[in-house]
Chain A
C-alpha cells in the first residue's frame, strides 16, 4: 500500500512545496546579497588601509600603522610568512612604524591578471618575468625597465629545475637524456597553463641546445620526444606533484629545486630521491614594486624597503630556509653543500628573455602547440 509521505523534504511543516521553495530561494538570495555587500566593504577597507600615510610623515609621533599587499605565486606562501615577520620587526626598529603584510597566492599568471584587473598589490613576487612584464604591457602599472630596478635581474632568490624519482631510482635516471628513453614516464605540468612548467620545458630545450652539435632543430626533436613520454599534463605544478606523489603515476617528476627539496626532505621522506641533472636552467622568480599602486597608497618607501630587505643577510637566511638559492655570495657559500652543483644557463642567454621565449614557444601557434598538432 502506498501512503502519501507525511514528512518529505519540501513539506515538513505542511506548507506547500512551492512556498517552501520560494522561502529557500529568498534565503539564498539574501545570503548572496550579504556576501556581496561584505565583499565590497572589505575591498574598501583594504583600499583605505593602503592609503595610510607612509613613514615619511612629519612629527616625532609614531607613524600610523600601514598595510601592504604582496601578490605572489603558490609555493612562496611559507617563505613570505616567515619573511613578513622578520621584515615587520626590522621596519619597527628602523622607522618606528607597524607594518602588516597581507599575502595573496595562486598561479603566477592568474595572480598577474588579478593585479591587472585591479587587485591593488603594492608588490608582486611572481614565478617568471613574463608575468611581471604583463603588468606593464597590459596595465601600465609599472615601468618597462622594472627588471633593472633591483639587483640580480630583480630576483633576490633563484632556483633551478631538477628531477624527483622514486626511492632507489629504479629507472636509473641521471640526466635529461634519460627522460626521452622509451618506457620512462615523465610527469610535468602543461606549460600553456602553468607558469612554473614553462621553466621545465625551457630547461629541457636548453640542455639539448647545449649538447655538442646542438641546434634548434635537435632541441625541438628532443623536447618533442620528451613530451611523448608525458602521460598527463596537469594544469599546474601542484597538480603534477599530486599525480606523481599521491597517484603513483610516472617514473620521474620534473620540478623546481625548492619544491623537490621540500618533498624529499619533509613531505615524502624516504619515498623519493632528488636527482640533479648535469645542467639546468636558472629560475629567476622576479619581484617588483607596483608603481601605480604604491603611489596611490603612499606606500612606496616601505614597499621598496620590503623588497630590498629580501637581499639582506636576514632576508637571504629566510630564503635558504625555504630551499631557494640565495643571491648573497656569503650566504650561498655557507650553504653550498645544501645545493647540488649544476651548470646553469639563463633565459636571457639562450632564449632572448621571457617575452621572446613566450612568443616562440608557448603562445598559440608556438612550438609547444606543434608538438601536439595531429600529423597530417
Chain B
C-alpha cells in the first residue's frame, strides 16, 4: 500500500493521528512504564522472581483454567449465538439480554454469587458434594468463574456473522444434496470460524487478567488455587513493585504471543474461507 493513496473518505491524517495518540496514551504508555519498572531488577534476580515454584504453579493454574474456560465458551457460545439467531421462541429477548450480564456485573459480585451457589452448603454445591465433586475453593471453581466472565465474548462476536449468513445458503446446500452435518461443516462453520477465534481470544485474554471474581471462589491456597494476578497483589502488599511488575510482564508477554497466534490463525481461517 502506498502512503499517498487518496482514499474515498477524507481525514486520514487526522484520524490516524488520533488513533496513534489514543492507543499510545491508553495502552503503550502504561505498559512501557511497567516494563521499565520490571527492568530495574537484575536479570538473575528477575529470573528467580518469575520462575519460583509458587509462580510456576500460579501460571499453570491461570493459563490452564483460562484456556479451558474459553474453550468451553467457544463451543457453547457458538451454540447460544446459533439459537438466538436462528430460532424464534418466547423469552428470546430475555436470553439475549442475559448473555451480556457477566459484562455488566461487578466481578466481585459475580465471584460472591458463584461461591454462594457452589460452596459446600450452597444450592448446587450441596448436590455436587454428594457425588464427591468440589467446585468452590478448587481449580474447578476457578475455571467456572473464568468461564462465566467469558460468556458474552464468543456469543457477541459470532452472532452478527450468523445473522449475515442467509438461511437460503443452507437451503441451497440441502437442495444440492448435502447432509445436515455437511452443511454445517462445509458451509456454516468456515464462515463463523474467524469470529469464533476472535471471541475465543477475547474471552481468553479477559480470563487471564481476571481477579475480582476469582479471589472469592478460589480459596487462594498457595501452590494450589493461587492465580497469577493474586501473586502480583501479594507482591504489592510487601511493596515489591519490581517483583510485581516482573510477574506482570511475564503474563503480558505470554498473553501477547498467544493473542498474536490466534490472530494469525484467524487470518488463515479467513483466507481459507475466501
Contacts and interface: CB of A to CB of B under 8 A. Distances in A.
Interface of A: 2-5, 8-11, 17, 21, 109-110, 113, 116, 134, 137-138, 190, 192-193, 195, 231-235, 239, 242, 246-249, 358, 362-364, 369, 372-374
Nearest to A21: B160
Given A3-B167, A235-B220, A358 B160 contact: no
17 contacts: A2-B86, A2-B171, A5-B85, A10-B160, A21-B160, A116-B239, A190-B220, A193-B230, A232-B220, A232-B221, A234-B219, A235-B220, A239-B216, A247-B116, A372-B223, A374-B53, A374-B223
For the complex of A and B, the 5 pairs showing the least CB-CB separation, nearest first, are A2-B167, A372-B222, A232-B219, A192-B234, A247-B119
B159 interface: yes
A374 B171 CA distance: 60
A9 B234 contact: no
Nearest to A137: B239
A2 B163 contact: no
B45 to A, nearest CB: 12
B153 interface: no
Contacts of A3: 167
Given A17-B160, A109-B237, A364-B238, A249 B119 contact: yes
B116, B160, B166, B243 pick with most chain A CB within 10 angstroms: B160
Given A9-B96, A193-B220, A372-B221, A17 B167 contact: no
B167 A233 contact: no
Contacts of A110: 236
Interface in B26-65: 52-54
Contacts of A372: 221-223
Interface string B76-88: 0000000001101
B219 A362 contact: no
B233 interface: yes
A134 to B, nearest CB: 5
A374 B85 CA distance: 51
A233 to B, nearest CB: 5
A4 B166 contact: yes
B239 A369 contact: no
Interface of B: 52-54, 85-86, 88, 96, 112, 115-116, 119-122, 137, 159-160, 163-164, 166-167, 170-171, 215-216, 219-223, 230, 233-240, 243
B122 A247 contact: yes
A231 B163 contact: no
A134 B237 CA distance: 10
A231 B85 contact: no
B182 to A, nearest CB: 17
A110 B170 CA distance: 56
A232 B160 CA distance: 43
A231 B137 contact: yes
A11 B221 contact: no
Contacts of B166: 4
A322 to B, nearest CB: 25
A371 B116 CA distance: 29
A352 to B, nearest CB: 17
A355 B63 CA distance: 35
B220 A364 contact: no
Given A8-B163, A247-B116, A233 B239 contact: no
A3 B170 CA distance: 12
A372 B223 CA distance: 7
B117 to A, nearest CB: 11
Contacts of B54: 369
Contacts of A116: 239
Given A10-B163, A364-B240, A193 B234 contact: yes
A133 to B, nearest CB: 10
A178 B72 CA distance: 44
A249 B160 contact: no
B227 to A, nearest CB: 11
Contacts of B137: 231-232
Given A8-B163, A235-B215, A362-B238, 14 more contacts: A5-B85, A9-B159, A17-B164, A192-B237, A193-B233, A233-B222, A234-B215, A239-B216, A242-B216, A247-B122, A364-B238, A369-B54, A372-B223, A373-B53
B163 A249 contact: no
Contacts of A248: 119, 121
A373 to B, nearest CB: 8
Contacts of B220: 190, 193, 232-235
A247 B121 contact: yes
A113 B216 CA distance: 22
Contacts of A373: 53, 223
A113 B235 CA distance: 12
A8 B121 contact: no
B89 to A, nearest CB: 12
A326 to B, nearest CB: 29
B78 to A, nearest CB: 16
A372 B222 CA distance: 6
Nearest to A113: B236
Contacts of A362: 237-238
A247 B220 CA distance: 16
B233 A235 contact: yes
Contacts of B88: 5
B169 to A, nearest CB: 10
A225 B214 CA distance: 27
B214 to A, nearest CB: 10
A114 B209 CA distance: 21
Nearest to A362: B238
Contacts of B170: 2
A364 B235 contact: yes
A10 B235 CA distance: 44
Nearest to B240: A364
Contacts of A364: 52, 234-235, 238, 240, 243
A2 B96 CA distance: 20
A116 B237 CA distance: 13
